[in-house]
Amino acid sequence: MSYSSFPQIPCITLLSPDNTGMYFNIDRVSYNIEMNKTAIIDIDNTLWQFCDAFYKELRNINPNFPPPENWTDWDIWEGHCTEQDFYNAVNAIHQNQDSPKFQPYPEARGFLAELKQNNYHITIASHRSAEYMGQTVRWLKRHGLVYDEIHLSHHKTDLFNNSTDVVVDDAPKVLEKAVESGALATGLLFPWNSAFRDNGFRLYSSLNQILDCILKR
């Protein structure tokens, strides 16, 4: 939408130190602020069930690897595989993110579309190597998952600041950082985050419940 499409409304004049008139339209500024609400959205275990695919990879390493319902901390590889094997399994999935077998949650498309419709600027932020950008972008586009920006790195919390409105993630440490920044922090409930649910963030069983929480804030 261009400024020319706005209705004609009164302006006020502010004076700079050299008395040069600077025209400032309050209603337009309010509109732009509304349009710039920010939402930072994770991918794994937020837009799709990463843990199920991950479990299959881990069982290729160790058939006795415990299932996701027993993953109650972040050091789940200890006693079952090496840390390197663990991260190799993560990378194997991200390298093939655009595989047809990796489907998003049924409500993921509508979740993101509704955020856009409600004037959120969506940054997809995933804890993965930037070398998998192509696969990630293709996956998002294939499934109609809308976004404005994409950020792949191992330091997604660097994106958080006092202008961040919403963070949706499954990692407790990420959600705690979001709370510290003043954002609404929320995500899907899993065994590895349930013990932290009283740390200022909100956990739900579906993206539709998360969406309802966001839109009611």
Is 76 part of a structural domain of the chain? Answer: no
Global pTM reads 0.83
| CATH number of the domain within which 117 lies | 3.40.50.1000
d(CA 20, CA 14): 8
Is 166 part of a structural domain of the chain? Answer: yes
Same domain, 17 and 41: no
Counted domains in the chain: 2
Closest by Cα among 181, 187, 179 to 207: 187
Same domain, 111 and 14: no
Same domain, 107 and 192: yes
Q: How confident is the model at residue 31 (pLDDT cuts 50, 70, 90)?
A: very low
* pLDDT tens digit sequence for 104-127: 999 999 999 999 999 999 999 999
Q: In this structure, what token pair is assigned to residue 41? A: 């959205």
Is 77 part of a structural domain of the chain? Answer: no
Is the pLDDT at 17 greater than 60, yes or no?
no
Closest by Cα among 160, 179, 156, 52 to 104: 52
Is 75 part of a structural domain of the chain? Answer: no
Phi-psi region of 200 (alpha: psi -120 to 50; beta: other; left: phi over 0): left
- Is 126 exposed, middle or buried, given 0-12, 13-18 or 19+ CB atoms closer than 10 A? buried
pLDDT given at position 35 = 54
Is the pLDDT at 13 greater than 70, yes or no?
no
Q: What average pLDDT does range 189-208 have in this prediction?
A: 96
The whole domain housing 184 covers: 37-51+100-215
* pLDDT tens digit sequence for 66-97: 999 999 987 898 999 999 999 999 999 999 99
Is 67 part of a structural domain of the chain? Answer: no
Is 137 part of a structural domain of the chain? Answer: yes
Same domain, 24 and 45: no
Is 71 part of a structural domain of the chain? Answer: no
Is 158 part of a structural domain of the chain? Answer: yes
Same domain, 14 and 118: no
Same domain, 203 and 109: yes
Same domain, 21 and 44: no
Same domain, 29 and 44: no
Same domain, 150 and 178: yes
Q: How confident is the model at residue 14 (pLDDT cuts 50, 70, 90)?
A: very low
Q: Which residues have a Cβ under 8 Å from the Cβ of 209 and sit 6 or more positions away? A: none
